[in-house]
Amino acid sequence: MIKRYTRKEMEFVWSDQCKFDNWLAVEIAACEAHVELGNIQQSAVDVIKAKAAFDVERIKEIESEIHHDVIAFLTSLAENIGPESRFVHMGLTSTDVVDTAFCLQIQAAGKLLMRGLEQVLEKLEVQAKANKTTLQMGRTHGVHAEPLSFGLKLTVWYSEMQRNYERLRIALEGLAVGKLSGAVGNYANLDPDIERLVCQTLSLTPASASTQTLQRDRHAHFMTTLAIIAGSLEKMATEFRALQKTEFGEVYEPFDKLQKGSSAMPHKKNPILGERITGLSRLIRSYALTALENQALWHERDISHSSAERVIFPDATIALDYALSLMIRILDGLVVCEDRMMANINGSNRIFFSQPLLLVLVNAGLTREDAYRLVQKQAMRAHEENVDFQEAIMSDESIMNHVTHEQINDVFSFDRYTKNIDKIYQKIYK
């Protein structure tokens, strides 16, 4: 991922230093497991732990000659450890180390993403409660429908992000595993107790069964989860972008004091944060497809997944981490224009009161078809002739013969659109 969209904590998770630190953690844990099973003397492991060190540049130098990253890593360790290095990697195959350590990196990345989701949830809750009774025109098919609380819109998103939080937790749990079962997963040269002890040390669960690799359904689950989360962020960003259109003017992203919107037009305030989220979400979705394709490997192992995973896992987690930070920034500085929301509501001549009027007429004894026809006629008139809907209704004897003026006043009440909001909030916000 380019530096522009990379935050420091997530960058370190995917650095070579962090990767090799995790490889070393697996190797040391394996040595300690061998001691517990009586295969290696404690004194040898003490030397290994004291001297085990590596140099990233030296590893790259060795790899450039031998074209094998794990052997290059082990060679670098051996140069520092000395004779006791013969006990390092004993009975292991490369993927035992790489896949197990990869899960450690994914857990670290996932922890940062979980933290980002928590912050998004916090900001959504604050805005939802602040706008619990802020009326906004609801739109279906892009057309005015009925007003709703802007807080309700945010609450729907809050509920979705809660599901995303749980999805990510489950996906990470599925990747909190280790695998030390040898070249084809048959434990021919390694006691399964080594795997158990190493995983115990690293706070992982031994894979129930594996080939030379951990099976990539786990990784596909994780990546598709990231894609779903990104999709939720994109949905929110797209809505904010739409509401920031000049014709709407209901919600605005934060705009810094010295910020400039256009190189040509000084008046511009563009929704660039939401647009950035949208673009990154498209990228993350494409990585999910690659992860799904990585499930099918030849026989007990090939490395067709490896090259792709070196790109998609760092990039997807870095991109989502950044997208979460953008959404946090938007929610934290969101400008809500209540007056403009109400102006847009009133701009439809109040024809959105058509449903409660329809129900009153049905309750008065009209068939639904007849009531619908009468209400629709005046709603279309109000829209096309720019007439207030209530005035149009009051002038229609075919309607007024069935309802009282008191009922009409009750129909045209904005209170109905927020009267049950507390019941909704009680279900969501504990």
By annotation, the residues acting in catalysis are 141, 262
What interhelical angle do 192-201 and 16-36 show, nearest 10?
A: 130
Q: E strand or H helix at 149, and its extent?
A: strand 143-149
Q: How far apart are CA 71 and CA 74, in angstroms?
A: 5
Q: Could you give the residue ranges of the DSSP H alpha helices within 14-93? A: 16-36, 42-51, 56-66, 69-81
Q: Could you give the residue ranges of the DSSP H alpha helices within 244-303? A: 272-293
388: left (phi over 0), alpha (psi -120 to 50) or beta: beta
Structure tokens at 162: 């809660």
Displacement of CA 35 from its chain's centroid (Å): 42
Residues near 423 by Cβ (< 8 Å), separated by ≥ 6? Answer: none
Contact status, residue 102 vs residue 310, Cβ threshold 8 Å? no
Q: How far apart are CA 190 and CA 186, in angstroms?
A: 9
Structure tokens at 368: 């639904």
**Beta pairing partners, 335:** 252
Q: Would you call 133 exposed, middle or buried from its count of C-beta atoms within 10 A (0-12, 13-18, 19+)?
A: middle
Q: How far apart are CA 46 and CA 30, in angstroms?
A: 13
Q: How far apart are CA 41 and CA 47, in angstroms?
A: 10
Which is nearest to 151 in space by CA: 422, 353, 343, 348? 422
Structure tokens at 183: 């070249």
Q: E strand or H helix at 136, and its extent?
A: strand 135-140
**Residue type at 69 in one-letter notation:** D
Structure tokens at 265: 């037009």
Q: How far apart are CA 234 and CA 224, in angstroms?
A: 15
Q: What SS3 state is found at 131?
A: coil
Q: E strand or H helix at 336, and its extent?
A: strand 335-336
